[in-house]
Chain A
Amino acid sequence: MIRVALPAHLRTLARIGEREVSLELDGTATIAAVLDALEARYPMLRGTMRDHATRKRRAFVRFFACERDLSHDSPDDPLPAAVVSGSEPLLVVGAMAGG
Chain B
Amino acid sequence: MTGVRVLVGTRKGAFVLTADGTRQEWQVSGPHFAGWEMYHLKGSPADPDRLYASQSGGWFGQVIQRSDDGGATWNPVGNEFAYDGETGTHQWYDGSQRPWEFTRVWHLEPSLTDPDVVYAGIEDAALFRTVDGGQTWQELPGLRRHESGPSWQPGAGGMCLHTIVQDPRDAARLYVAISAAGAFRTDDAGKTWRPINKGLRSEGIPDADAEVGHCVHNLAMHPDRPDVLFMQKHWDVMRSDDGGESWHDIGGNLPTDFGFPIDVHAHEPDTVYVVPIKSDSEHYPLDGSLRVYRSRTGGGEWEPLTNGLPQEHCYVNVLRDAMAVDTLDDCGIYFGTTGGQVYASADAGEHWAPIVRDLPAVLSVEVQTLP
Question: What does the 1/0 interface line of B68-87 toward A look like (CB < 8 Å)?
Answer: 00000000100110100000
Question: What does the 1/0 interface line of A76-97 toward B look like (CB < 8 Å)?
Answer: 0000000000000000001101
Given A9-B35, A9-B36, A98-B58, residue A48 in contact with residue B63 (CB < 8 A): yes
| Contact status A46-B58, CB under 8 Å | no
| Contact status A60-B79, CB under 8 Å | no
Question: What does the 1/0 interface line of A34-71 toward B look like (CB < 8 Å)?
Answer: 00000000001011110011000010110000000000
- Chain B proximity of A17: nearest CB distance (Å): 17
Interface range on chain B (Cβ under 8 Å from partner): 10 to 19
The answer for the CA separation of A34 and B58 in the assembled complex, in Å, is 22
| Contact status A44-B63, CB under 8 Å | yes
- Chain A proximity of B122: nearest CB distance (Å): 13
| Contact status A13-B76, CB under 8 Å | yes
CB-nearest residue of chain A to B60:
A48
CB-nearest residue of chain A to B82:
A53
Give B30-77 interface residues, CB cut-off 8 Å to A.
35-36, 57-63, 76
Q: A-B pairs with CB below 8 Å: how many? A: 42
Given A58-B60, A61-B60, residue A52 in contact with residue B36 (CB < 8 A): no
Which residue from A9, A44, A46, A47 sits with its C-beta under 8 Å from B59?
A9
Residue A10 at the chain B interface, CB threshold 8 Å: yes
The answer for the CA separation of A10 and B60 in the assembled complex, in Å, is 8
B58: which A residues are within 8 A, CB to CB? 60, 97-98
Which residue from B36, B57, B80 sits with its C-beta under 8 Å from A47?
B80
The answer for the CA separation of A48 and B80 in the assembled complex, in Å, is 10
B59: which A residues are within 8 A, CB to CB? 7, 9, 58, 60-61, 94-95, 97-98
B35: which A residues are within 8 A, CB to CB? 9
B82: which A residues are within 8 A, CB to CB? 52-53
- Chain A proximity of B261: nearest CB distance (Å): 26
Given A9-B35, A9-B36, A44-B76, residue A49 in contact with residue B63 (CB < 8 A): no
- Chain B proximity of A89: nearest CB distance (Å): 19
CB-nearest residue of chain B to A53:
B82
B61: which A residues are within 8 A, CB to CB? 47-48, 58
A7: which B residues are within 8 A, CB to CB? 59
